[in-house]
Amino acid sequence: MEYNTKCLIIGSGPAGYTAAIYASRADMHPLLYEGIQVGGQLTITTEVENFPGYPQGIHGVAMMEDIRQQALRFGTQMRNGEIVKVDFSQRPFICTDDNNDIIYADTVIIATGASARWLGLESEKKFNGYGVSACATCDGYFYKDKDVAVIGGGDTATEEASYLAKLCRKVYLVHRRDELRASKAMQQRVFNTPNIEMVWNSIPIEITGEENKFNKSVTGLKIQNTRTSAISTLNVDGVFIAIGHHPNTEVFQGQLELDNEGYIITRPGSSHTNIPGVFAAGDVQDKQYKQAITAAAGGCKAAIDAEHFLQENA
């Protein structure tokens, strides 16, 4: 099948759904592909307490469903599935989905997000959202006055450790080598924070916890020393994985300007990519803030930029 749309939105996190709300209210009749993880990264967290408008907090899944319903209310056409191929060399742009349907799009808003890298442990999957997190700003508050571990040695890990140190009783920063990759300034901050303890040359081998019919919780992190092979356990209530993110841009390689880590490059202060008519919003082009609210704001900008583009190229 072949379809035409004024605005194709790829991705269903806060950026994609917000772009859809704005684009549909501007009569652009957007078509939105929700991708494999409908609702995006927030659907793998538990409680969201820092998104304005929810004074009591809200579950990530429920919040994304709210934003989705808002986009549907104004007539966004939602599709299950993924865009697997794009051709941005001509307009309308030609995009192919995983059902081999072809979409001819006058504008495209890319909001495919980024995915946290995970260790790949079975126990990490089991306790994800119940003591295992990849976002201290999102989930740190639940560990107030408790002990936690952060895994990683880069800027993200050191920032997460510093953030958590203000809330938690103790933070173990577990790194696989004996020196940090993070900037010198972040290293100093970590070393000068009394309640952060470095755990060098250590790799996580299991996250331990308790589970009953109603709940799950983490009780510890089993680590192995890479030099001595000794195994020990840190008694912690939370484990924050901070071993990097990767932007979901594989499908756009060769079609758009990406930076050396694969993030889409947008013109500062806007959602414009190097291809006129193609816009990007949210974590797929943001490696600094990575928040639901900044992604939503990006989606809003992208829809407005797309609307202006359609007016100028009518």
Taking the C-alpha atoms of residue 52 and residue 296, their distance in angstroms, rounded to an integer, is: 11
Pick 2 or 122: Cβ nearer ligand NDP: 122
Given 121, 154, 265, 293, the residue binding ligand NDP (CB under 6 A)? 154
- Cβ neighbours around 53 below 10 Å, total: 8
Q: How many residues bind ligand NDP (CB under 6 A)?
A: 17
Active-site positions?
135, 138-139
Among 2-10, 26-34, 165-173, 242-250, the segment contacting ligand NDP (CB under 6 A): 242-250
What is the rounded CA–CA span in Å between residue 101 and residue 83?
9
Check the CA dihedral 184-185-186-188 and report its sign: positive
Which residues is 150 bridged to in the sheet? 173, 240
For residue 133, which phi and psi values (nearest 5 degrees)? -145, 160
Q: Which of 119, 205, 293, 297 binds ligand NDP (CB under 6 A)?
A: 119
Of 13, 153, 220, 299, the one binding ligand NDP by CB under 6 A: 153
Q: Which is nearer to ligand NDP, 29 or 176 (CB)?
A: 176
Rounded Cα distance between 293 and 283, Å, is 11
CA distance 133 to 214: 19
Binding residue for ligand NDP (CB under 6 A) from 244, 265, 293, 297?
Answer: 244
CB atoms within 10 A of CB 139: 23
Instruction: With beta carbons less than 8 A apart as the criterion, state whether 171 and 164 touch.
Output: yes
Task: Name the residue nearer to ligand NDP (CB basis): 143 or 240.
Answer: 240
> Helix axis angle, 292-312 relative to 14-25, nearest 10°?
40
157 part of the interface to ligand NDP, by CB under 6 A = yes
Interface of this chain with ligand NDP, residues 45 to 64, rule: CB under 6 A? none
Region of 8-16, 18-26, 82-90, 174-182 interacting with ligand NDP (CB under 6 A): 174-182
Nearest Cα neighbor of 108 from 310, 314, 290, 292 is 310
* Selected binder of ligand NDP within 47, 147, 155, 305 (CB under 6 A): 155
Question: Which regions of 54-98 does DSSP assign to beta strands (E)?
Answer: 58-59, 77-79, 83-87, 93-97
Rule CB under 6 A: is residue 13 a binding residue for ligand NDP? no
Q: Which residues in 201-240 contact ligand NDP (CB under 6 A)? A: 203
Q: Is 144 left (phi over 0), alpha (psi -120 to 50) or beta?
A: beta
Nearer to ligand NDP, 55 or 268 (CB): 268
Q: Which helix (H) or strand (E) holds 202?
A: strand 202-211
Q: Establish if 156 lies at the interface with ligand NDP (CB under 6 A).
A: yes
Nearest residue (CB) to ligand NDP, 130 versus 163: 163
Q: Does 85 bind ligand NDP (CB under 6 A)?
A: no
For residue 123 the two structure tokens come to: 């126990």
Using CB under 6 A, pick the residue from 265, 287, 294, 297 that binds ligand NDP. 287
- Smallest gap from residue 54 Cβ to ligand NDP (A): 26
Q: Give the footprint of ligand NDP on this chain (CB under 6 A).
A: 119, 151-157, 159, 176-177, 181, 203, 243-245, 287
